[in-house]
Amino acid sequence: VQLQASGGGLVQAGGSLRLSCAFSGRTFSSYAMGWFRQAPGKEREFVATISWGGGSTYYVDDVKGRFTISRMNAKNTVFLQMNSLKPEDTAVYYCAAGGGVGRQPVQYDYWGQGTQVTVSS
């Protein structure tokens, strides 16, 4: 399995970004997908996850109402729409694939390379 994340960049506070993660190598629709982030000097933390069919989504509390995870199984891609961005959202964002929705990194089997998101104040 290969995961390729893209869409990061530099944005001002209050702005928006849409991250994408392209999946290849196995049947995408068999995997739950997650987004995690890691800021400098901090541990990798859960951001959002979506079930294999897209019917269930979960978020960390401080992104609820601002971020939306979605997937397009026909295109083997998962998205993270990020609105009302804050400087504290600055981190490297990683997509991951696993057997079920989860909030812990160990619950995911495959990881992308990460994409940098920087939010200026």
| d(C-alpha 24, C-alpha 60), whole Å | 27
pLDDT value of residue 26: 95
Give the burial string for 80-98 (b: 16+ CB within 10 Å, else e).
Answer: bebeebeeebbbbbbbbbb
DSSP single-letter state for residue 111: E
pLDDT for residue 43: 96
- Per-residue model confidence (pLDDT) at position 112: 96
Query: Which residue numbers in the chain have pLDDT < 70?
Result: none
**Burial (Cβ within 10 Å: 0-12, 13-18, ≥19) of residue 40:** exposed
